[in-house]
Amino acid sequence: MKKLSIKLYIIFYCTMIGLVTGCITPYEPEVEWINDLLVVEGAIIAPYGTNIKLRRANDGWSSSYDPDKAMATVTLITDDGAVVATAQNSSTGKYSITDSIAFQPGKKYAIHILLGGKEYQSDFVEPQITPEIDEVNYQYKEQEEVNIRVSTHNDNPDASRYYRWSYQEDWEIVSDYFAQYTWSYETGIRKMNQFSPDNIHYCWGSKTSNRIILGKSDNLSENRIKDHTILSLEPFNSRFSYLYSILVKQQTLDKKAYEYFDNMRKNVEQTGGIFAPQPTEIKGNITCLSDPKEIIIGYIYATTELSYRLYIKAEEVPGMGEIFDCREKKTFIEGELDKAYGQGMAILSEGDKAGIYICISRRCVDCTARGGSKNKPDFWPNNHQ
């Protein structure tokens, strides 16, 4: 096995964070590589949501791939030797426990992994019970930003004071105008119906959080987090075309888990050639029982998770939506529509004569041109389609 460089570990951080954040770094130092470094990411979440991801860092920058063609056996165990559940096998390196899990008082939990003839196990951890989210609100500064903020508290004097958040964003995009027709090389001119599922008037976008978001109250007299900003959105944003939704998820961490993820967060956010410590110093809480000298990157913790959904209407944050110049219109005959679409325009309506079409910037009539799709969320609160 080759020696692991200090510089190399920033790559392993990005490998690990990439499972949750899609971390990408343009820095490519000259280093020696450890092939087949196991990366384990996930959490034991009750009652549902236990997901474990296995990856390997290998051959330089090819740092994410399935651990083995022969799948692993991933098991949730307690410190008294009981097997709680076995994760469903996966060919993508993801292992999920879909059974309902109820943490038992006084017991600690760990993840046990059999992979490639080796045995791995996380440290036994005490589950943390997450308090309710008091509120998710937003702070609005016109044509500057919208800050999404979370508040929570825990009156239990023995409760952990360390928190982690993630979120799922969804938003509806509505075109400025309804396109009466659309055109393509394949179908030619096609009449559109605003109320049919294939219209291009209504679209939806979505995004999952890709950062480590942490907070703590260990230096406060009360275990309370008030208006903690977890996301800042800049103006001229398609999210505020019509209706925006964010589902905030909250977890409580123990102190060691918080320190681990805070260290990862700092290293990912740092720039200018600042490197992480040696992985032996912050490698996490997973050990290879078959070979204790093997380095494994990752940390397993146990917690409950609670969520809170916030909606923001476009009229509540004026000046934050995208701005397009939808005044310019051009007239094209049917045989020239390929030129119109080549210029970034689309049909708005028929002209005053047969075979004549009035065209406008595609972004004004086609919500897919603004990054939207027809994948409407199941929970969406209106009947647009």
**Segments making up each domain of the chain, as ranges:** 9-128+254-305
Contact 306, 132 (CB under 8 A): yes
Residue 1 pLDDT greater than 60, yes or no: no
Q: What is the mean predicted confidence (pLDDT) over 116-145?
A: 96
What Å distances lie between residue 200 and 52, 178, 195, 203, 363, CA to CA? 38, 8, 10, 7, 10
Burial code (b: 16+ CB inside 10 Å, e: under 16) for 206-230 equals eeebebbbbbbbeeeeebebeebeb
Comparing 213 with 2, the larger pLDDT belongs to 213
pLDDT at 68: 53
Q: Name the band, by pLDDT with cuts 50, 70 and 90, for residue 197.
A: confident
CB 46 within 8 A of CB 56: no
pLDDT in tens, 220-279: 999 999 999 999 999 999 999 999 999 999 999 999 999 999 998 888 777 432 234 444
User: Quick one: which of 352, 313, 356, 267 has its CA closest to 9?
Assistant: 267
pLDDT tens across 273-331, in order? 223 444 434 579 999 999 999 999 899 999 999 999 999 999 999 999 998 899 999 99
**Long-range interactions of 27-30: CB distance < 8 A, separation 24+:** 27/273, 28/61, 29/5
